[in-house]
Structure 1
């Protein structure tokens, strides 16, 4: 049996023997493969490693490249075509003595002024001046008092005409004395009528002709009904002080009187008239507001059309009187219609070529019926013979009318 001491000696010598075997293997491999490595290195131009020393080989194994799948292109979302940008309307350079049209009111008046700018863009003799306050109205006179402000605006601008569009912000409580009244209550309405009347009176005192443009319909039904009531108040205030009320309601509702977002423009083409909020108006809607306003405005300015030049006799900024009412129609003496069968005009008694009518024989049955009213006697047996007892038919007539043939058996 092997003793423990001998086993310990073998255990100490085993690593030395293993290391010697490895060194001999390396030396033998280097002796046989040094020329081949010397030839490969210049060709491959790669660095030396321990792997080349233990497992030398002539060439590296090249793995074929993996097929790389090309990523599929993601489907592109279809592009939503943008609405074509409308070309800007070129505005003619205004003359130094151009007549001024002053547009006042809230944010709706601002849109109306933009539409009037486009309408009179080709006219160098008319200039549109917008002096609007978007949040103003008649209710909050502590924020902006239009009856007071309009006086200074007219003195500063010296307009030939004033256009008012105001009231879309007035659906709110109004302070009357020390009480806050609810919209369209009795006291609220009386105070509102008084304030609108003050604005009309202030413009009339300045002796400037003016137009008062009414409110259009809105998307909220309650707001629409309030605007209808406001328009009646504006109409009364305008006409009581010599102004003219411009009704634009039909241009922004359908045939049933309901609010519409899209509708015909001034040329009858379908366009978008209102914004998404159902309150503001689009560019086409602003132009449509101006379309309703420009006709009465041209009458005040004495123009035949938006592009025509104002009369040279009117000085710049001078107030223009409203057109005089139409004269009463001239009474024309008319003669009664003349009959073709009336010869009395030339003193004659008969028409040319007339011949005396033939005299009728009064003994004829027809003449007796017409003149005397006597009908001829009915023949016996006729349907209109009502004599009783019936008259006997003459034998000759009976024989002539009896066409029955006897049948012999």
Structure 2
């Protein structure tokens, strides 16, 4: 009998190369603490910063986020009331705030439930955000306020842009700095993107299927925008600044240095060919005594 030939084995697809692991170093006892507070996006930002500063023993990232918190439901968690005790406990060198993704909902103002972004809703929202800004200013700890990114739900984005205007104003009026991450999560037309360039300019998936949560690469990109102002406050070089890394799309670009002043060239006055006073023609060649060796 003729034996059936064995079926050829399917060739397995080559696996993509694994990401190089960031070397993790043990933090020193006197490492400076960066306290990250806010909602679930703040938690992702803290993860990204943890990766960015993994090889720096002098900086420790501490996340004290509450995923479902915001300014609207202060009955769930009241950030203006809690921030001072958090700062007293953690003793941070810098505080980073990222809040607002849960705030597109009705807010109880007095006995009335106000609709999102109505006049009374907005006034109360501004008051609550400013209360956090004032509480941070009173602690005298430098702070960064990171804005909201774009989301896959188009109805959310106009609200998030309005929220960012409020956060920007509150940060500036209370001595903080606003960090705008919007351009890192939209295309050149300003539309939300699920995938885009990572911190090295390579195309990656930045957001999950729901258009709200961020991937590992997205968390790292959130951190990228925060690294430079954070390093400035800490008096450090930004992570990865020694090597040349192409900035992701939408990253803030430094203004070019002014050009050096033009060198002024003095022009020699025109000389007549027959003018012996200007070409040394009054002296005969060989008239001078030769110098002794």
TM-score (ref. length: structure 2): 0.79
Partner of 1:204: 137
Structure-1 separation of matches of 2:13 and 2:111: 56
Q: What is the aligned length?
A: 252
Question: Contact between 1:95 and 1:124, CA under 8 Å: does it hold in 2?
Answer: yes
Partner of 2:204: 271
Which among 213, 221, 225 is matched to residue 158 of structure 2?
225
Which among 203, 215, 236 is matched to residue 148 of structure 2?
215
Partner of 1:169: 102
Check 1:83–1:140 CA distance in 2 against 1; reply closer, same or farther (3 A cut).
farther
Map 1:3-402; keep pairs closer than 5 Å: 85-306=18-239, 340=267, 351=269, 353=271
Question: Contact between 1:123 and 1:307, CA under 8 Å: does it hold in 2?
Answer: no
Structure-1 separation of matches of 2:270 and 2:23: 74
Structure-1 separation of matches of 2:10 and 2:111: 62
Partner of 2:256: none
Check 1:192–1:90 CA distance in 2 against 1; reply closer, same or farther (3 A cut).
same
Question: Contact between 2:22 and 2:55, CA under 8 Å: does it hold in 1?
Answer: no
Deviation at 1:89, TM superposition (A): 2.6
Deviation at 1:224, TM superposition (A): 1.1
Deviation at 1:77, TM superposition (A): 9.3
Structure-1 separation of matches of 2:235 and 2:122: 37
Deviation at 1:306, TM superposition (A): 2.7
Partner of 1:400: none
Structure-2 separation of matches of 1:80 and 1:224: 40
Deviation at 1:90, TM superposition (A): 3.0
SS in 1 for 2:219: helix
Partner of 2:258: none
TM-score (ref. length: structure 1): 0.57
Question: Contact between 1:122 and 1:307, CA under 8 Å: does it hold in 2?
Answer: no
Bigger Cα Rg: 1
The root-mean-square deviation of aligned C-alpha atoms, in Å, is 2.8
Structure-2 separation of matches of 1:226 and 1:106: 17
Question: Contact between 1:261 and 1:278, CA under 8 Å: does it hold in 2?
Answer: yes
- The answer to which structure, 1 or 2, has the higher relative contact order (CA under 8 A, 6+ apart) is 2
Structure-1 separation of matches of 2:116 and 2:14: 45
Structure-1 separation of matches of 2:24 and 2:37: 21
Deviation at 1:305, TM superposition (A): 2.9
Higher helix share goes to which structure? 1
SS in 1 for 2:155: helix
